[in-house]
Amino acid sequence: MAFIDFITSLHSRTKRDYLERVRRGDKAICAAIAKKFDQEYWDGDRKYGYGGFSYDGRWAVMAQEIIAHYGLKNGDHVLDVGCGKAFLIFEMKKLLPGLEVRGLDISDYAIRHAKDEMRPFLDRGLAQKLPYANDSFDLVISITTLHNLYLFDLQTALREIERVTRNGSYIVVESYRNEEEKANLLHWQLTCESFFTPEEWEYLFAESGYHGDYGFIYFE
């Protein structure tokens, strides 16, 4: 289990007004809508989520780094838990056309609005109940998804990732290192249910039997 940062450059491209979502006074309503993970969350007004989640190629660098770090090759099997519109595994498959990919997400909307060529590889489902056999994948990734689960489901999801991977895994979750980052996270987030420091996340990984790699997003 090791900390690896594949996402800082991608995450830091977005400029955020951390107070904007609480200034309006309707953050609780917006969060309730966001947690449906439907059109409003992905492609609706920014107050409900992404404010438009469209393909722009930004995931290409991360895909290349993951492939290189884990030594992936054509014929290997990769699962993305919480794949959204599957842009990351799309980029991975562009780089390795023979890579066998699957993506899983809770959102029907995201799956329906993924790229046409990716839809055959996508499943609707829950991170805490992965519909795959033991040791099915050479690599399981989960980027900014698992912190949306309550603790009991989060621990189950970590165990499920361990169950279906035969070689390795990499997850990214939201975290904070000080009170300023904690406040920013609380002000900005809409769907996050689990708030932990890096040390607490590492404790939780160990308690849940997760042996894979991990990264954190901080709201500086």
* pLDDT number for residue 9: 67
Asked whether 76 and 100 are in contact (CB, 8 A), the reply is yes
Residue 67 has pLDDT above 90, yes or no: yes
Is domain 8-16+57-179+191-217 annotated with CATH 3.40.50.150?
yes
Per-residue confidence (pLDDT) for residue 100, from 0 to 100: 98
Using the CB atoms, write b or e for 121-131: b if 16+ within 10 Å: bbeeebbbebe
Q: How far apart are CA 116 and CA 109, in angstroms?
A: 13
pLDDT, average across residues 72-84: 98
Q: What is the predicted pLDDT for the residue at 18? A: 62
Whole-structure pTM value: 0.94
State residue 12's pLDDT score. Answer: 52
Alpha carbon distance 193, 148 (integer Å): 5
Name the token pair of 130.
């992965």
- The region of weakest confidence among 10-24, 46-60, 115-129 is 10-24
Mean pLDDT score of the chain: 94
User: Tokens 């329906």, residue?
Assistant: 112
Neighbours of 169 (CB within 10 A): 23
**How does strand 137-143 pair with strand 100-105?**
unpaired
Spell out the domain ranges in the chain. Answer: 8-16+57-179+191-217
Q: Give CA–CA dist 39/25, Å, rounded.
A: 22
Backbone angles phi, psi at 102, to 5 degrees: -135, 145
d(Cα 152, Cα 19) in Å, to the nearest integer? 30
* 185/220 Cα distance (integer angstroms): 9
pLDDT band at residue 87 using 50, 70 and 90 as cut-offs: very high
